[in-house]
Amino acid sequence: MSSTKIFITGATGYIGGSVLSRLLAHPEAKSFEFTALARSAEKAAKLNTVGVKTVLGSYSDLDLLTKSAKEADIVIAVADSDNLPAAEAILKGQKEKFEETGKAPILIHTSGTAIISDDARGQHGDHTIYSDLDSDAIEALPETALHRNVDIATVKADKEGYVTAYLITPGTVFGLAEGPLVDIGVQHKYSIQLPLFIKVSAARKKAGYIGAGKNLWAAASNRDTADLFVLIFNAARKNPSSLGHGRDGFYFVENAEYSGFEVAEETGKVLAELGIAESPEATSNTAEELKQFFGDWWTLLSTNSRAKGDRSRAVGWKPVDGKKEFIQSIRPEVLEVVKSIEK
């Protein structure tokens, strides 16, 4: 029996590493041949120790991406969701694969609910709650929205028939990552979004939020997010008729909703306990602080992004971690971020 060849990007990242760890423990793992894109020889060597082949390079190495995608039956892209040239290079390889075999390869692409974000600037939480079942509303999103350039190209490739694409679309992903890739020191333990706010709060020695901190974001845990990737992976291989794909292939990842103020409030408690902040009280970042700590990104970080993963649940996804777990996850993230700052 021939093996299923899987090419994964972002394998050492927070989400990608957790997805790869799950697949390495998959009941059918012996029939999978994994190849991961690795930026350094050191990371490649560590991945090799757990049975993952590697190609050395980055999302700038377009020919390498095309070649690696062409050689794979399934591509799982969990790296830069906004890098259109890299996405097009992967799709080019998959198109060449299709032209040779007549069978459309699978693409599991990672987008994000920033596609539905607004310009709230932290002042309110009044925003449309988008369902991933509403394909018309998603298709009507502006091309200028974050991630949309890559999403549009991916959906177009699916429509043209040379790839079957599933777009997994998380909100904020929370919780420290665990697993074999963390254990061997190759996977990032935490995400970018929440730790950025924690780092800024630590630097200003007072927990902070943007505007009034009223903006709302969808969230799901790292482990629930990895569960959805594996569910889609399994169904795409075994029962593709059960899954929407392309235009109808967005799968929102959410099981909680939080405000900017709630993150700052919990962060403040921990910073005060650690003696970094004099008081647990959280305050709004000043205009000068926004420019100093966030640059032009502050408007994006203070948006609303309200989503419902109805399609995700309809195909059998059963997330476990909710709002309580989200709030509880902030303390260990603060401790981890402070530890990294002090190194």
> pLDDT tens per residue, the chain (343 residues)?
589 999 999 999 999 999 999 999 999 999 999 999 999 999 999 999 999 999 999 999 999 999 999 999 999 999 999 999 999 999 999 999 999 999 999 999 999 999 999 999 999 999 999 999 999 999 999 999 999 999 999 999 999 999 999 999 999 999 999 999 999 999 999 998 999 999 999 999 999 999 999 999 999 999 999 999 999 999 999 999 999 999 999 999 999 999 999 999 999 999 999 999 999 999 999 999 999 999 999 999 999 999 999 999 999 999 999 999 999 999 999 999 999 988 7
Domain definitions of the chain by residue range: 4-118+129-185+220-253, 193-218+256-305+320-342
Taking the C-alpha atoms of residue 211 and residue 284, their distance in angstroms, rounded to an integer, is 6
Query: Given phi > 0 = left and psi -120 to 50 = alpha, else beta, which region is 205?
Result: left
Whether the pTM exceeds 0.85: the reply is yes
Type of residue found at 109: H
Distance CA 311, CA 134 (A): 9
Question: Quick one: 4-118+129-185+220-253 is in which CATH superfamily?
Answer: NAD(P)-binding Rossmann-like Domain (3.40.50.720)
Report how far residue 339's alpha carbon sits from residue 114's, in angstroms, rounded to the nearest whole number.
29
